[in-house]
Structure 1
Amino acid sequence: MPEMKFNVRWPDDTESLCYSPSLVIEEHLAPGTSYTLDDFIGRSRTALTIASDRVMQKYGFPCSRAMGQLAELERLVAGFRGHDPASPDGRVTVLAFHRDNAPQAGARR
């Protein structure tokens, strides 16, 4: 299965490199788009669950890495809940997608 990595910028201007075991993430998030915290985590949850289910269909077990990524995103979103979700400060921006398996910058800067 083709893997996908994607960079996001959090409300405090830190960035994370995230993982999906499937390109399905492209159907739910778009580079250059800013999402409210709730919208971002909802879209991420849907995409990563679908991706994990695809791994299950192909290999007979869910993708623990996708579920781990989802847990990390949920933890980070929970930490930003105090931000006003309607303001730009309370938004997550998807910066880029990476389809290749080349190493990218650190997981969180």
Structure 2
Amino acid sequence: MPETYWTLRWPDGSEERCYSPSSVVAELFSPGEVYPLADFRHRARIAMERASNRVAAKYGFACSSAMAQLDRIEAQVAKFEGQDGAEVACLAISQ
């Protein structure tokens, strides 16, 4: 369950490095791909919930870091809701 970092470009051009306690993000995102905002949010929720569940299965408790990352992602997504054509790019995924 390698820790994974993934870099995003938000619709305003800002970039953010995100954390996952698991490589599960690579199952849902690909570097170089661009995702419509709603699709990105849906995939991010799945990724962070799966990552937290993997931690829970291994250690007996959910991963608060994964849930905190999801909270930050949700807050960013909320800033761009309502913008026509808003997209999020996955720039990189690394372990």
TM-score range, shorter chain: over 0.9
Output the TM-score relative to the length of structure 2.
0.97
Question: What is the match of residue 102 of structure 1?
Answer: none
Structure 1 residue ranges (4+ consecutive) displaced by more than 3 angstroms after TM superposition = none
Tell me the alpha carbon deviations over residues 37-69 of structure 1, each in whole angstroms, 9 at most, x when there is no partner. 110010010011011001001101000000000
Output the TM-score relative to the length of structure 1.
0.85
Question: What is the match of residue 92 of structure 1?
Answer: 88
Tell me the alpha carbon deviations over residues 55-87 of structure 1, each in whole angstroms, 9 at most, x when there is no partner. 001101000000000010001000101310xx3
CA RMSD of aligned residues (A): 0.7
> Distance in 2 between the 1:61 and 1:13 partners?
36
Q: Does 1:72 align with 2:65?
A: no
Question: What is the match of residue 27 of structure 1?
Answer: 27
2:89 aligned counterpart, secondary structure:
strand
Paired letter, 1:76: Q
Alignment: residue pair count: 95
1:18 aligned counterpart, secondary structure:
strand
Paired letter, 1:33: E
Q: Does 1:18 align with 2:18?
A: yes
Question: What is the match of residue 81 of structure 2?
Answer: 81
